[in-house]
Amino acid sequence: MTSCSLIISTYNWLPALTLCLRSCTLQSVLPDEIIVADDGSRADTSGYITRFAEQTNIPVKHIWQPDEGFQLAKIRNKAIAAASGDYIIQIDGDLILHKDFIKDHINIRKQNRFVTGSRMLLSKEETERAFKAPDFNAGKFISGNKNVFNSVRIPFMQNFMSTRYKKKGRYLYYVKGCNMAFWREDLVRVNGYNENFIGWGREDSDIAVRLINAGLQKQFLKFGGISFHLYHKEAPRNNDEKNTALMNETIAKKIYWAEKGLNQYL
């Protein structure tokens, strides 16, 4: 049996992380460990994670770095280095997971491939209801939602769609960093995330480009791996132009190795 590490990135939004972690404990297939990749949250987050770890049978690791601005690539590398699982599922701490989220990811995994999924965006009102509800019921949160099909689970369609959905053209490098999965050895092969990506954006697309440049194929987990994204204001995108230029260089030069990456922590 292959072991599975679940990495959850977070920053100073404890109510969302609380819902996220609770959904992790309700999975039909539990991860072998949970790693919270914390990009500099306050002490209240650390205290909650300590209490959570005492109340669950799932091993929990809290990987923290000082708050020096948005450095998601860096904290993800540190979490990957700390992971003991052969397979790594990566999410953000503002997601609530469907009970079969881990199960779907495990069932679709294949050697020499990495996986991206999608998310259903909850409105501001739906998010407020989710925070108030003691038990999250997806059926109550999808009325009128523009991407409601991202909440539809059809297990027998997952493998069929995996190499057909958003595969070509402008979707070749399309991924959602909040819902991805990799073999750990493949992340080591490309040296993880490129830490030159600072601020919001493109670090997830860049790692997809480099994995493809290294010979891997992308799979899309459609009709499975369902997650519900809690509404929040978008992060500032001040570095988007610089990060996009870095990603385009990776594409043009067929780069697969991150010069400033995972090997710093291994």
Report pLDDT digits (tens) over 31-51: 999 999 999 999 999 999 999
> Phi/psi of residue 132, each to 5°?
-85, -20
Beta partners for residue 97, in sequence order: 227
Annotate 3-54 with DSSP letters as a single string: -EEEEEEE-S-HHHHHHHHHHHHT-SS--SEEEEEESS--HHHHHHHHHHHH
Give the pLDDT band of residue 217 (cuts 50, 70, 90): very high
Amino acid in position 191: N
What was the pLDDT predicted at 148? 79
Secondary structure, 3-state, 188-201: HHCCCCCCCCCCCC
Q: State the DSSP code for 229.
A: E
Give the pLDDT band of residue 103 (cuts 50, 70, 90): very high
Q: What percent of the chain has pLDDT over 90?
A: 82
Give the pLDDT band of residue 167 (cuts 50, 70, 90): confident
Hey, is 78 helix, strand or coil?
helix
Name all domains of the chain by residue range, CATH numbers in brackets. Answer: 4-264 (3.90.550.10)
Question: Which H or E run contains 62?
Answer: strand 60-64
Q: Is the confidence at residue 144, as pLDDT, over 70?
A: no
Hey, is 217 helix, strand or coil?
strand
pLDDT tens-digit readout, 229-263: 999 988 878 889 999 999 999 999 999 999 999 99
Q: Is the confidence at residue 145, as pLDDT, over 70?
A: no
Q: Is the confidence at residue 57, as pLDDT, over 60?
A: yes
Q: State the DSSP code for 170.
A: G
Mean pLDDT of the chain: 93
- What average pLDDT does range 99-128 have in this prediction? 94
- What average pLDDT does range 169-173 have in this prediction? 89
Measured CA to CA, the distance from residue 51 to residue 66 in angstroms comes to 21
